[in-house]
Structure 1
Amino acid sequence: MEGFIIAILIILLLVALVGIILVKSISLFDHVYMYFFKRPIYIHLYFRLKKLTYEEEKFIKNRFSFYNRLNAKQQKFFQHRLITFMQDKSFEAREGFEITKEVKLYISATAVMLTFGMRDFLLPALQKIFVYPDIYYSTITQNHHKGEFNPRLKALVFSWKHFLEGFADEEDNINLAIHEFIHVLQINSMKESDISATIFADTSKKLVNLLLNDEIRQRLQDTKYFRKYAFTNRFEFLAVLVEYFIESPIVFKQKFPEFYSKIREMLNYNFNGY
Protein backbone atom coordinates (compact mmCIF):
# COMPACT_ATOMS: atom_id res chain seq x y z
CA MET A 1 0.00 0.00 0.00
CA GLU A 2 2.80 2.39 0.89
CA GLY A 3 4.54 1.64 -2.41
CA PHE A 4 1.31 2.35 -4.28
CA ILE A 5 0.93 5.75 -2.59
CA ILE A 6 4.54 6.64 -3.40
CA ALA A 7 3.99 5.66 -7.03
CA ILE A 8 0.88 7.86 -7.23
CA LEU A 9 2.79 10.78 -5.72
CA ILE A 10 5.61 10.33 -8.21
CA ILE A 11 3.13 10.26 -11.09
CA LEU A 12 1.43 13.41 -9.80
CA LEU A 13 4.78 15.15 -9.46
CA LEU A 14 5.72 14.14 -13.01
CA VAL A 15 2.39 15.39 -14.35
CA ALA A 16 2.86 18.68 -12.49
CA LEU A 17 6.41 18.97 -13.83
CA VAL A 18 5.26 18.32 -17.39
CA GLY A 19 2.52 20.90 -16.90
CA ILE A 20 4.99 23.52 -15.69
CA ILE A 21 7.36 22.80 -18.58
CA LEU A 22 4.47 23.02 -21.05
CA VAL A 23 3.25 26.36 -19.65
CA LYS A 24 6.79 27.77 -19.67
CA SER A 25 7.34 26.56 -23.23
CA ILE A 26 4.11 28.15 -24.44
CA SER A 27 5.00 31.39 -22.67
CA LEU A 28 8.47 31.38 -24.23
CA PHE A 29 7.07 30.69 -27.70
CA ASP A 30 4.49 33.43 -27.13
CA HIS A 31 7.24 35.96 -26.40
CA VAL A 32 9.36 34.81 -29.35
CA TYR A 33 6.33 35.15 -31.64
CA MET A 34 5.66 38.62 -30.21
CA TYR A 35 9.28 39.63 -30.83
CA PHE A 36 9.08 38.80 -34.54
CA PHE A 37 5.45 39.61 -35.35
CA LYS A 38 4.62 42.31 -32.75
CA ARG A 39 1.36 40.65 -31.76
CA PRO A 40 0.10 37.72 -29.64
CA ILE A 41 -0.07 34.22 -31.11
CA TYR A 42 -3.79 34.19 -30.42
CA ILE A 43 -6.30 36.75 -29.17
CA HIS A 44 -9.66 35.08 -28.69
CA LEU A 45 -10.04 31.82 -26.77
CA TYR A 46 -13.27 31.26 -24.82
CA PHE A 47 -15.02 28.17 -23.50
CA ARG A 48 -18.54 29.59 -23.45
CA LEU A 49 -19.54 32.80 -25.18
CA LYS A 50 -21.84 35.27 -23.47
CA LYS A 51 -24.42 36.89 -25.72
CA LEU A 52 -26.16 40.28 -25.74
CA THR A 53 -29.92 40.51 -26.01
CA TYR A 54 -31.42 41.70 -29.29
CA GLU A 55 -32.03 45.19 -27.88
CA GLU A 56 -28.52 45.42 -26.40
CA GLU A 57 -26.89 44.44 -29.67
CA LYS A 58 -29.12 46.90 -31.54
CA PHE A 59 -27.87 49.64 -29.19
CA ILE A 60 -24.25 48.79 -30.00
CA LYS A 61 -24.89 48.54 -33.75
CA ASN A 62 -26.44 52.01 -33.76
CA ARG A 63 -23.44 53.58 -32.02
CA PHE A 64 -20.29 51.69 -32.97
CA SER A 65 -19.33 51.52 -36.63
CA PHE A 66 -16.40 49.39 -35.49
CA TYR A 67 -18.79 46.64 -34.41
CA ASN A 68 -20.60 46.71 -37.75
CA ARG A 69 -17.32 46.16 -39.62
CA LEU A 70 -16.63 42.92 -37.75
CA ASN A 71 -17.67 39.59 -39.23
CA ALA A 72 -20.25 37.41 -37.46
CA LYS A 73 -17.65 35.43 -35.49
CA GLN A 74 -15.82 38.56 -34.36
CA GLN A 75 -19.12 40.14 -33.29
CA LYS A 76 -19.73 37.16 -31.01
CA PHE A 77 -16.32 37.70 -29.45
CA PHE A 78 -17.08 41.41 -29.04
CA GLN A 79 -20.38 40.63 -27.30
CA HIS A 80 -18.68 38.19 -24.94
CA ARG A 81 -15.98 40.69 -24.03
CA LEU A 82 -18.51 43.47 -23.59
CA ILE A 83 -20.61 41.51 -21.10
CA THR A 84 -17.52 40.24 -19.27
CA PHE A 85 -16.04 43.74 -18.96
CA MET A 86 -19.36 45.21 -17.84
CA GLN A 87 -19.71 42.56 -15.13
CA ASP A 88 -16.12 43.03 -13.97
CA LYS A 89 -16.37 46.77 -13.27
CA SER A 90 -18.30 48.77 -10.70
CA PHE A 91 -20.40 51.63 -12.10
CA GLU A 92 -21.42 54.42 -9.74
CA ALA A 93 -23.52 57.53 -10.37
CA ARG A 94 -22.80 60.99 -8.98
CA GLU A 95 -24.83 64.20 -8.56
CA GLY A 96 -28.18 62.68 -9.43
CA PHE A 97 -27.07 60.84 -12.55
CA GLU A 98 -28.66 57.44 -13.22
CA ILE A 99 -26.60 54.43 -14.27
CA THR A 100 -28.70 52.59 -16.84
CA LYS A 101 -27.89 49.47 -18.86
CA GLU A 102 -27.27 51.73 -21.86
CA VAL A 103 -24.68 53.75 -19.93
CA LYS A 104 -22.85 50.56 -18.95
CA LEU A 105 -23.01 49.26 -22.51
CA TYR A 106 -21.72 52.49 -24.04
CA ILE A 107 -18.76 52.81 -21.67
CA SER A 108 -17.86 49.12 -21.76
CA ALA A 109 -18.10 48.91 -25.55
CA THR A 110 -15.59 51.75 -25.83
CA ALA A 111 -13.10 49.78 -23.74
CA VAL A 112 -13.74 46.60 -25.72
CA MET A 113 -13.27 48.42 -29.03
CA LEU A 114 -9.86 49.75 -27.95
CA THR A 115 -8.70 46.39 -26.58
CA PHE A 116 -10.24 44.11 -29.21
CA GLY A 117 -6.83 43.34 -30.71
CA MET A 118 -5.45 42.40 -27.30
CA ARG A 119 -5.66 39.06 -25.56
CA ASP A 120 -6.07 40.50 -22.06
CA PHE A 121 -8.85 43.06 -22.11
CA LEU A 122 -10.17 43.40 -18.55
CA LEU A 123 -7.61 46.06 -17.53
CA PRO A 124 -6.93 45.22 -13.85
CA ALA A 125 -5.70 48.79 -13.33
CA LEU A 126 -9.37 49.83 -13.50
CA GLN A 127 -12.02 48.77 -10.99
CA LYS A 128 -14.53 51.62 -10.64
CA ILE A 129 -16.25 53.92 -13.13
CA PHE A 130 -17.95 57.07 -11.82
CA VAL A 131 -20.34 59.05 -14.01
CA TYR A 132 -21.43 62.67 -13.45
CA PRO A 133 -24.14 64.38 -15.52
CA ASP A 134 -21.81 67.26 -16.51
CA ILE A 135 -18.47 68.87 -15.65
CA TYR A 136 -17.60 68.06 -12.05
CA TYR A 137 -15.27 69.35 -9.37
CA SER A 138 -12.51 66.97 -8.30
CA THR A 139 -11.55 67.20 -4.63
CA ILE A 140 -8.30 65.40 -5.48
CA THR A 141 -7.02 67.80 -8.15
CA GLN A 142 -9.16 70.72 -6.93
CA ASN A 143 -10.12 71.47 -10.52
CA HIS A 144 -13.15 71.02 -12.73
CA HIS A 145 -12.96 68.08 -15.14
CA LYS A 146 -14.79 66.47 -18.02
CA GLY A 147 -13.06 63.17 -17.31
CA GLU A 148 -10.03 61.69 -15.59
CA PHE A 149 -8.37 58.47 -14.52
CA ASN A 150 -7.11 58.06 -10.96
CA PRO A 151 -4.56 55.19 -10.89
CA ARG A 152 -4.32 55.14 -7.10
CA LEU A 153 -8.07 54.61 -6.69
CA LYS A 154 -8.29 52.56 -9.90
CA ALA A 155 -11.15 54.85 -10.83
CA LEU A 156 -12.24 56.29 -14.18
CA VAL A 157 -14.52 59.33 -14.10
CA PHE A 158 -16.69 60.80 -16.87
CA SER A 159 -19.00 63.72 -17.45
CA TRP A 160 -21.80 61.98 -19.35
CA LYS A 161 -22.57 65.09 -21.35
CA HIS A 162 -19.02 65.22 -22.68
CA PHE A 163 -18.81 61.46 -23.07
CA LEU A 164 -21.73 61.66 -25.53
CA GLU A 165 -20.28 64.72 -27.27
CA GLY A 166 -17.19 62.68 -28.07
CA PHE A 167 -19.26 60.25 -30.12
CA ALA A 168 -21.59 62.86 -31.65
CA ASP A 169 -18.96 63.85 -34.22
CA GLU A 170 -16.84 60.92 -35.37
CA GLU A 171 -14.43 63.05 -37.38
CA ASP A 172 -13.45 65.93 -35.06
CA ASN A 173 -10.67 63.85 -33.42
CA ILE A 174 -11.96 64.67 -29.94
CA ASN A 175 -13.39 61.78 -27.95
CA LEU A 176 -13.32 61.93 -24.15
CA ALA A 177 -13.99 58.21 -23.67
CA ILE A 178 -11.21 57.09 -26.01
CA HIS A 179 -8.80 59.60 -24.49
CA GLU A 180 -9.39 58.52 -20.88
CA PHE A 181 -9.40 54.81 -21.64
CA ILE A 182 -5.99 55.18 -23.27
CA HIS A 183 -4.75 56.60 -19.97
CA VAL A 184 -6.10 53.44 -18.30
CA LEU A 185 -4.22 51.33 -20.86
CA GLN A 186 -1.03 53.31 -20.24
CA ILE A 187 -1.11 52.65 -16.51
CA ASN A 188 -2.24 49.06 -17.02
CA SER A 189 0.72 48.37 -19.33
CA MET A 190 3.09 49.59 -16.61
CA LYS A 191 1.60 47.34 -13.94
CA GLU A 192 0.84 44.17 -15.91
CA SER A 193 3.20 41.75 -17.69
CA ASP A 194 0.90 39.95 -20.11
CA ILE A 195 1.72 39.93 -23.82
CA SER A 196 -0.69 42.70 -24.80
CA ALA A 197 0.47 44.99 -21.98
CA THR A 198 4.09 44.35 -22.99
CA ILE A 199 3.39 45.22 -26.62
CA PHE A 200 1.51 48.36 -25.58
CA ALA A 201 4.34 49.52 -23.29
CA ASP A 202 7.11 48.76 -25.80
CA THR A 203 5.34 50.51 -28.66
CA SER A 204 4.55 53.52 -26.46
CA LYS A 205 8.27 53.95 -25.93
CA LYS A 206 8.85 53.77 -29.69
CA LEU A 207 6.24 56.49 -30.21
CA VAL A 208 8.00 58.75 -27.72
CA ASN A 209 11.30 58.08 -29.50
CA LEU A 210 9.73 59.22 -32.78
CA LEU A 211 9.22 62.60 -31.19
CA LEU A 212 12.98 62.85 -30.75
CA ASN A 213 13.48 62.61 -34.49
CA ASP A 214 14.30 66.13 -35.73
CA GLU A 215 12.56 65.72 -39.10
CA ILE A 216 9.36 64.34 -37.60
CA ARG A 217 9.29 66.94 -34.85
CA GLN A 218 9.68 69.68 -37.45
CA ARG A 219 6.76 68.28 -39.45
CA LEU A 220 4.66 68.22 -36.31
CA GLN A 221 5.40 71.89 -35.77
CA ASP A 222 4.86 72.87 -39.39
CA THR A 223 1.58 71.06 -40.04
CA LYS A 224 -0.02 71.87 -36.67
CA TYR A 225 -2.14 68.79 -37.32
CA PHE A 226 -2.53 67.67 -33.71
CA ARG A 227 -4.27 69.98 -31.26
CA LYS A 228 -2.05 71.80 -28.76
CA TYR A 229 -3.17 69.69 -25.81
CA ALA A 230 -1.32 66.74 -27.35
CA PHE A 231 1.99 68.35 -26.41
CA THR A 232 1.19 68.67 -22.68
CA ASN A 233 3.26 65.55 -21.94
CA ARG A 234 3.97 62.11 -23.40
CA PHE A 235 0.85 60.59 -21.79
CA GLU A 236 -1.46 63.17 -23.33
CA PHE A 237 0.35 62.92 -26.67
CA LEU A 238 -0.38 59.22 -26.92
CA ALA A 239 -4.03 59.62 -25.85
CA VAL A 240 -4.59 62.33 -28.46
CA LEU A 241 -2.85 60.25 -31.14
CA VAL A 242 -5.29 57.40 -30.59
CA GLU A 243 -8.25 59.79 -30.85
CA TYR A 244 -6.99 60.82 -34.29
CA PHE A 245 -6.22 57.20 -35.19
CA ILE A 246 -9.77 56.08 -34.41
CA GLU A 247 -11.71 59.03 -35.83
CA SER A 248 -9.72 60.00 -38.94
CA PRO A 249 -7.43 57.07 -39.76
CA ILE A 250 -7.03 57.84 -43.47
CA VAL A 251 -5.88 61.43 -43.00
CA PHE A 252 -3.76 60.45 -40.02
CA LYS A 253 -2.00 57.74 -42.04
CA GLN A 254 -1.35 60.14 -44.91
CA LYS A 255 0.13 62.86 -42.72
CA PHE A 256 2.05 60.80 -40.19
CA PRO A 257 2.46 57.17 -41.35
CA GLU A 258 5.18 56.58 -38.75
CA PHE A 259 2.81 57.30 -35.88
CA TYR A 260 -0.08 55.51 -37.54
CA SER A 261 1.85 52.25 -37.94
CA LYS A 262 2.99 52.32 -34.32
CA ILE A 263 -0.52 52.95 -32.97
CA ARG A 264 -1.78 50.10 -35.11
CA GLU A 265 0.95 47.86 -33.72
CA MET A 266 0.30 49.00 -30.17
CA LEU A 267 -3.43 48.18 -30.32
CA ASN A 268 -3.02 45.27 -32.77
CA TYR A 269 -5.77 47.09 -34.60
CA ASN A 270 -6.78 47.14 -38.24
CA PHE A 271 -9.33 49.88 -38.94
CA ASN A 272 -11.18 47.57 -41.33
CA GLY A 273 -11.55 45.02 -38.56
CA TYR A 274 -8.88 44.48 -35.97
Structure 2
Amino acid sequence: MSIYSQIILFLQYDKLAEGEKEIANYFLLFAAILMIVFFVVKIFYFFEMVYVEYVKKKLFFNHVYLRKSKLTSSQKLTLRKNFKFYQKLSSKHQSYFEHRVYQIINETEFIGKDIAVTEEMRVIVTATLVKLTFGLRDYNIESVERIIFYPEEFYSQTNKAYHKGEFNFGLKALVFSWKDVLHGYEIKDDNLNLAIHEFTHAIHFYYMRVRRQSTSAAMFLDTYIELTSMLDSDPKLKSKLVQSNFLRDYAFTNQFEFLSVIVETFIESPQQFKIEFPSIYGKVKTMLGFNFVGY
Protein backbone atom coordinates (compact mmCIF):
# COMPACT_ATOMS: atom_id res chain seq x y z
CA MET A 1 0.00 0.00 0.00
CA SER A 2 1.38 3.42 -0.98
CA ILE A 3 1.93 6.22 1.58
CA TYR A 4 -0.83 8.20 -0.16
CA SER A 5 -3.27 5.28 0.27
CA GLN A 6 -2.32 5.00 3.94
CA ILE A 7 -3.04 8.69 4.52
CA ILE A 8 -6.46 8.35 2.85
CA LEU A 9 -7.19 5.32 5.03
CA PHE A 10 -6.18 7.20 8.19
CA LEU A 11 -8.48 10.05 7.29
CA GLN A 12 -11.39 7.56 7.24
CA TYR A 13 -10.86 7.24 10.99
CA ASP A 14 -14.33 5.94 11.93
CA LYS A 15 -13.93 2.93 9.67
CA LEU A 16 -10.68 1.79 11.27
CA ALA A 17 -10.34 -1.11 13.68
CA GLU A 18 -9.06 -0.35 17.21
CA GLY A 19 -5.48 -1.38 16.39
CA GLU A 20 -5.51 0.68 13.24
CA LYS A 21 -6.89 3.69 15.15
CA GLU A 22 -3.94 3.54 17.54
CA ILE A 23 -1.51 3.56 14.61
CA ALA A 24 -3.42 6.43 13.03
CA ASN A 25 -3.23 8.42 16.27
CA TYR A 26 0.55 8.04 16.37
CA PHE A 27 0.80 9.00 12.73
CA LEU A 28 -1.30 12.14 13.19
CA LEU A 29 0.62 13.13 16.33
CA PHE A 30 3.91 12.77 14.50
CA ALA A 31 2.59 14.80 11.56
CA ALA A 32 1.35 17.52 13.94
CA ILE A 33 4.72 17.72 15.68
CA LEU A 34 6.52 18.02 12.34
CA MET A 35 4.20 20.83 11.29
CA ILE A 36 4.71 22.68 14.57
CA VAL A 37 8.50 22.36 14.33
CA PHE A 38 8.40 23.53 10.71
CA PHE A 39 6.41 26.65 11.57
CA VAL A 40 8.49 27.43 14.65
CA VAL A 41 11.69 27.25 12.58
CA LYS A 42 10.17 29.45 9.88
CA ILE A 43 8.98 32.02 12.43
CA PHE A 44 12.37 31.99 14.20
CA TYR A 45 14.18 32.46 10.89
CA PHE A 46 11.87 35.36 9.93
CA PHE A 47 12.43 37.25 13.17
CA GLU A 48 16.16 36.53 13.17
CA MET A 49 16.44 37.84 9.61
CA VAL A 50 14.63 41.04 10.67
CA TYR A 51 16.96 41.29 13.66
CA VAL A 52 20.04 40.90 11.47
CA GLU A 53 18.73 43.40 8.93
CA TYR A 54 18.14 46.17 11.48
CA VAL A 55 20.44 45.46 14.41
CA LYS A 56 23.44 43.71 12.79
CA LYS A 57 24.42 41.89 15.94
CA LYS A 58 25.69 38.43 16.58
CA LEU A 59 23.40 35.64 15.39
CA PHE A 60 21.59 33.42 17.86
CA PHE A 61 22.76 29.84 18.43
CA ASN A 62 25.82 29.75 16.18
CA HIS A 63 26.91 26.47 17.70
CA VAL A 64 24.17 23.87 18.12
CA TYR A 65 25.31 20.32 17.47
CA LEU A 66 23.42 17.18 18.41
CA ARG A 67 26.68 15.26 18.56
CA LYS A 68 30.11 16.85 18.32
CA SER A 69 32.73 15.08 16.21
CA LYS A 70 36.23 14.74 17.61
CA LEU A 71 39.66 15.11 16.04
CA THR A 72 42.64 12.84 16.57
CA SER A 73 45.49 13.82 18.88
CA SER A 74 47.75 14.62 15.90
CA GLN A 75 45.06 16.82 14.33
CA LYS A 76 44.64 18.74 17.59
CA LEU A 77 48.41 19.17 17.79
CA THR A 78 48.40 20.74 14.32
CA LEU A 79 45.75 23.20 15.47
CA ARG A 80 47.69 24.12 18.60
CA LYS A 81 50.92 24.62 16.63
CA ASN A 82 49.44 26.81 13.89
CA PHE A 83 46.41 28.63 15.29
CA LYS A 84 46.72 30.95 18.27
CA PHE A 85 43.04 31.71 17.74
CA TYR A 86 42.22 28.10 18.61
CA GLN A 87 44.58 28.14 21.60
CA LYS A 88 42.78 31.12 23.12
CA LEU A 89 39.30 29.60 22.86
CA SER A 90 37.60 28.09 25.90
CA SER A 91 37.54 24.29 26.05
CA LYS A 92 33.87 24.38 25.02
CA HIS A 93 34.57 26.54 21.98
CA GLN A 94 37.61 24.45 21.10
CA SER A 95 35.30 21.44 20.88
CA TYR A 96 33.02 23.42 18.53
CA PHE A 97 36.04 24.42 16.43
CA GLU A 98 37.22 20.80 16.23
CA HIS A 99 33.74 19.63 15.24
CA ARG A 100 33.64 22.06 12.33
CA VAL A 101 37.13 21.08 11.19
CA TYR A 102 36.13 17.41 11.28
CA GLN A 103 32.95 18.02 9.29
CA ILE A 104 34.63 20.03 6.55
CA ILE A 105 37.53 17.60 6.19
CA ASN A 106 35.10 14.74 5.72
CA GLU A 107 32.91 16.64 3.23
CA THR A 108 35.75 17.99 1.06
CA GLU A 109 37.80 16.28 -1.64
CA PHE A 110 41.53 16.97 -1.34
CA ILE A 111 43.67 16.54 -4.45
CA GLY A 112 47.44 16.74 -4.76
CA LYS A 113 49.13 17.73 -8.02
CA ASP A 114 52.75 16.56 -7.86
CA ILE A 115 52.46 16.59 -4.09
CA ALA A 116 51.11 14.08 -1.57
CA VAL A 117 48.27 15.49 0.54
CA THR A 118 49.01 15.02 4.23
CA GLU A 119 46.75 15.24 7.27
CA GLU A 120 48.55 18.43 8.29
CA MET A 121 47.65 20.06 4.97
CA ARG A 122 43.99 19.10 5.36
CA VAL A 123 43.82 20.45 8.92
CA ILE A 124 45.60 23.76 8.22
CA VAL A 125 43.48 24.80 5.23
CA THR A 126 40.26 23.55 6.79
CA ALA A 127 40.94 25.32 10.08
CA THR A 128 41.49 28.54 8.13
CA LEU A 129 37.93 28.37 6.83
CA VAL A 130 36.61 27.41 10.27
CA LYS A 131 38.35 30.41 11.85
CA LEU A 132 36.91 32.82 9.27
CA THR A 133 33.35 31.55 9.79
CA PHE A 134 33.54 30.72 13.51
CA GLY A 135 31.40 33.72 14.43
CA LEU A 136 28.76 32.69 11.89
CA ARG A 137 26.33 29.78 11.82
CA ASP A 138 26.56 29.00 8.10
CA TYR A 139 30.11 27.60 7.96
CA ASN A 140 29.72 24.84 5.37
CA ILE A 141 30.66 26.79 2.24
CA GLU A 142 29.06 24.77 -0.54
CA SER A 143 30.95 26.68 -3.23
CA VAL A 144 34.05 24.69 -2.20
CA GLU A 145 33.73 20.95 -2.80
CA ARG A 146 37.40 20.26 -3.48
CA ILE A 147 40.77 21.72 -2.56
CA ILE A 148 43.69 21.22 -4.93
CA PHE A 149 47.31 21.52 -3.85
CA TYR A 150 50.39 22.21 -5.95
CA PRO A 151 53.85 22.24 -4.36
CA GLU A 152 54.42 25.85 -5.51
CA GLU A 153 53.12 28.37 -8.06
CA PHE A 154 51.04 26.70 -10.75
CA TYR A 155 49.94 27.55 -14.28
CA SER A 156 46.27 28.46 -14.34
CA GLN A 157 44.15 27.65 -17.39
CA THR A 158 41.69 30.35 -16.28
CA ASN A 159 43.79 33.30 -17.41
CA LYS A 160 46.93 31.58 -18.74
CA ALA A 161 49.19 32.82 -15.96
CA TYR A 162 51.05 31.52 -12.94
CA HIS A 163 49.16 31.75 -9.65
CA LYS A 164 49.83 31.11 -5.97
CA GLY A 165 46.15 30.48 -5.38
CA GLU A 166 42.75 30.85 -6.98
CA PHE A 167 39.08 30.20 -6.39
CA ASN A 168 37.33 28.49 -9.30
CA PHE A 169 33.60 29.02 -8.83
CA GLY A 170 32.65 26.83 -11.78
CA LEU A 171 34.61 23.83 -10.50
CA LYS A 172 33.76 24.63 -6.87
CA ALA A 173 37.45 24.37 -6.15
CA LEU A 174 40.14 26.24 -4.27
CA VAL A 175 43.64 25.79 -5.69
CA PHE A 176 46.71 26.49 -3.57
CA SER A 177 50.47 26.56 -3.80
CA TRP A 178 51.29 24.72 -0.57
CA LYS A 179 54.60 26.59 -0.30
CA ASP A 180 52.72 29.88 -0.22
CA VAL A 181 50.04 28.63 2.17
CA LEU A 182 52.81 27.83 4.65
CA HIS A 183 54.47 31.19 4.02
CA GLY A 184 51.22 32.88 5.01
CA TYR A 185 51.50 31.34 8.48
CA GLU A 186 55.24 31.88 8.98
CA ILE A 187 54.83 35.62 9.59
CA LYS A 188 51.74 36.21 11.70
CA ASP A 189 51.26 39.96 11.18
CA ASP A 190 52.37 40.82 7.62
CA ASN A 191 48.72 40.83 6.45
CA LEU A 192 49.55 38.31 3.74
CA ASN A 193 47.83 34.97 4.08
CA LEU A 194 47.00 33.10 0.90
CA ALA A 195 44.52 30.69 2.49
CA ILE A 196 42.58 33.48 4.21
CA HIS A 197 42.52 35.51 1.00
CA GLU A 198 41.16 32.75 -1.23
CA PHE A 199 38.69 31.41 1.33
CA THR A 200 37.28 34.93 1.70
CA HIS A 201 36.57 34.94 -2.04
CA ALA A 202 34.79 31.59 -1.69
CA ILE A 203 32.72 32.78 1.28
CA HIS A 204 31.81 36.00 -0.54
CA PHE A 205 30.57 34.23 -3.68
CA TYR A 206 28.68 31.59 -1.70
CA TYR A 207 26.96 34.12 0.53
CA MET A 208 25.89 36.17 -2.49
CA ARG A 209 24.16 33.05 -3.83
CA VAL A 210 22.32 32.19 -0.59
CA ARG A 211 21.67 35.76 0.60
CA ARG A 212 17.92 35.20 1.13
CA GLN A 213 18.27 31.78 2.75
CA SER A 214 21.04 32.48 5.27
CA THR A 215 21.12 34.97 8.13
CA SER A 216 24.91 34.53 8.21
CA ALA A 217 25.07 35.62 4.57
CA ALA A 218 22.70 38.53 5.22
CA MET A 219 24.80 39.86 8.09
CA PHE A 220 28.05 39.42 6.16
CA LEU A 221 26.89 41.03 2.91
CA ASP A 222 24.74 43.80 4.38
CA THR A 223 27.56 44.95 6.64
CA TYR A 224 30.03 44.86 3.75
CA ILE A 225 27.67 47.10 1.76
CA GLU A 226 27.52 49.43 4.77
CA LEU A 227 31.32 49.47 4.87
CA THR A 228 31.74 50.40 1.21
CA SER A 229 28.95 52.99 1.47
CA MET A 230 30.64 54.51 4.51
CA LEU A 231 33.90 54.87 2.58
CA ASP A 232 32.15 56.32 -0.48
CA SER A 233 30.33 58.90 1.65
CA ASP A 234 33.44 59.89 3.61
CA PRO A 235 36.16 60.97 1.13
CA LYS A 236 38.55 61.92 3.96
CA LEU A 237 38.39 58.46 5.50
CA LYS A 238 38.74 56.79 2.11
CA SER A 239 41.72 58.97 1.19
CA LYS A 240 43.33 58.30 4.56
CA LEU A 241 42.93 54.55 4.04
CA VAL A 242 44.45 54.66 0.55
CA GLN A 243 47.35 56.95 1.42
CA SER A 244 48.22 55.15 4.65
CA ASN A 245 49.39 52.03 2.78
CA PHE A 246 47.84 50.07 5.63
CA LEU A 247 46.23 47.90 2.96
CA ARG A 248 48.43 46.78 0.09
CA ASP A 249 47.65 48.26 -3.33
CA TYR A 250 46.05 45.03 -4.55
CA ALA A 251 43.09 45.79 -2.25
CA PHE A 252 41.95 48.55 -4.59
CA THR A 253 41.75 46.33 -7.69
CA ASN A 254 38.01 45.70 -7.26
CA GLN A 255 35.39 45.07 -4.56
CA PHE A 256 36.25 41.36 -4.29
CA GLU A 257 39.96 41.91 -3.75
CA PHE A 258 39.22 44.76 -1.35
CA LEU A 259 37.16 42.43 0.80
CA SER A 260 39.75 39.64 0.80
CA VAL A 261 42.64 41.98 1.64
CA ILE A 262 40.72 43.77 4.37
CA VAL A 263 39.78 40.43 5.98
CA GLU A 264 43.43 39.28 5.78
CA THR A 265 44.45 42.48 7.57
CA PHE A 266 41.72 42.15 10.18
CA ILE A 267 42.71 38.57 10.99
CA GLU A 268 46.47 39.18 11.15
CA SER A 269 46.70 42.71 12.63
CA PRO A 270 43.51 43.29 14.64
CA GLN A 271 44.93 45.63 17.27
CA GLN A 272 46.73 47.90 14.80
CA PHE A 273 43.62 47.90 12.59
CA LYS A 274 41.43 48.86 15.54
CA ILE A 275 43.70 51.77 16.48
CA GLU A 276 44.22 53.20 12.99
CA PHE A 277 40.75 52.68 11.46
CA PRO A 278 38.28 51.90 14.26
CA SER A 279 35.11 52.46 12.21
CA ILE A 280 36.28 50.16 9.39
CA TYR A 281 37.52 47.61 11.91
CA GLY A 282 34.09 47.61 13.58
CA LYS A 283 32.34 46.83 10.31
CA VAL A 284 34.63 43.88 9.53
CA LYS A 285 34.20 42.57 13.07
CA THR A 286 30.41 42.66 12.62
CA MET A 287 30.62 41.00 9.20
CA LEU A 288 32.45 38.03 10.69
CA GLY A 289 30.61 38.01 14.04
CA PHE A 290 34.01 38.11 15.74
CA ASN A 291 33.54 38.44 19.49
CA PHE A 292 36.63 36.52 20.52
CA VAL A 293 39.75 37.14 22.59
CA GLY A 294 42.19 39.27 20.61
CA TYR A 295 39.49 40.88 18.48
Q: Which category describes the TM-score, using the shorter chain as reference length?
A: over 0.9
What corresponds to 1:44 in structure 2?
63
TM-score (norm 1): 0.93
Residue of 227, 230, 239 corresponding to 1:210: 230
96-105 or 28-37: bigger deviation:
28-37
Q: Distance in 2 between matches of 1:268 and 1:243?
A: 15
SS in 1 for 2:110: strand
Report the CA distance between 1:148 and its aligned residue: 0.5
State the SS of the aligned residue for 1:46: coil
Q: Does 1:148 align with 2:166?
A: yes
Structure 1 or 2, whichever has the larger Rg, is 2
1:41 is displaced (CA, Å) by: 1.1
What is residue 81 of structure 1 aligned with on the other side? Answer: 100
1:24 to 30, 38, 42: 42
CA change 1:51–1:208 in 2 (3 A) is: same
Residue 126 of structure 1: aligned partner? 144
Q: Structure 1, unaligned stretches of length 5 or more? A: none
Task: List per-residue Cα deviations over 1:134-172 (Å, max 9, x = no partner).
Answer: 000011211110000011111100000000000000011
Match among 188, 197, 204 for residue 217 of structure 2: 197
Q: CA deviation at 1:11?
A: 5.3
Contact 2:56–2:219 (CA<8 Å) still a contact in 1? no
Q: Per-residue deviation at 1:29?
A: 2.6
Q: How far has the Cα of 1:38 moved from its partner?
A: 2.3
- Matches of 2:294 and 2:192, distance apart in 1: 21
Does the residue aligned with 2:82 lie in a helix, a strand or coil? coil
The question of 1:157 aligning with 2:178 is answered: no
Shift of 1:37: 4.6
Counterpart contact for 1:39–1:196, Cα < 8 Å: no
Amino acid at match of 2:221: A
1:31-110 mapped onto 2 (5 Å cutoff): 31-34=49-52, 35-94=54-113, 96-110=114-128
1:141–1:219 CA distance, 2 compared to 1 (3 A) = same
SS of 2:166's partner is strand
2-structure distance, mates of 1:147, 1:270: 29
1:207 is displaced (CA, Å) by 1.9
1:246 and 2:246 aligned? no
- How far residue 230 of structure 1 moved from its aligned partner, in angstroms, is 0.6
Equivalent residue number for residue 3 of structure 2: none
Amino acid at match of 2:195: A
Alpha-carbon shift at residue 222 of structure 1 (Å): 3.0
Residue type at the aligned position of 1:18 = I
Match of 2:247 in 1: 226
Alpha-carbon deviation of 1:3?
2.2
CA-CA distance at 1:50 after TM superposition? 1.0
Aligned-CA RMSD value: 1.9
Contact kept in structure 2, 1:33 and 1:39, CA below 8 Å:
no
Identity, % of aligned positions? 39
The Cα offsets for residues 35-62 of structure 1, whole Å up to 9 and x where unpaired, read as 3252211100011111112221111101
1:174-217 Cα offsets, whole Å, 9 max, x none, are: 11010001001100111112111111111121122123121211
Does the CA contact (< 8 Å) of 1:70 and 1:273 recur in 2?
Answer: no
Q: Structure 1 segments of 4 or more deviating over 2 A?
A: 1-21, 32-39
How many residues get paired? 273
TM-score (norm 2): 0.87
1:249·1:271 contact (CA, 8 Å) conserved in 2?
no
Mean Cα deviation higher: 167-176 or 49-58: 49-58
Deviations 1:213-246 (A, max 9, x none): 2121121233222111110001101110111111
In structure 1, the partner of 2:282 is 261
| 5+ long unaligned stretches in structure 2 | 1-9
**Structure 2 residue matching 1:208: 3-state secondary structure:** helix
For 1:208, the aligned partner's letter is T
CA distance in 1, matches of 2:276, 2:290: 19
Partners in 1 of 2:264 and 2:34 — Cα distance? 46
The match for 2:206 is 188
Q: Partners in 1 of 2:292 and 2:58 — Cα distance?
A: 16
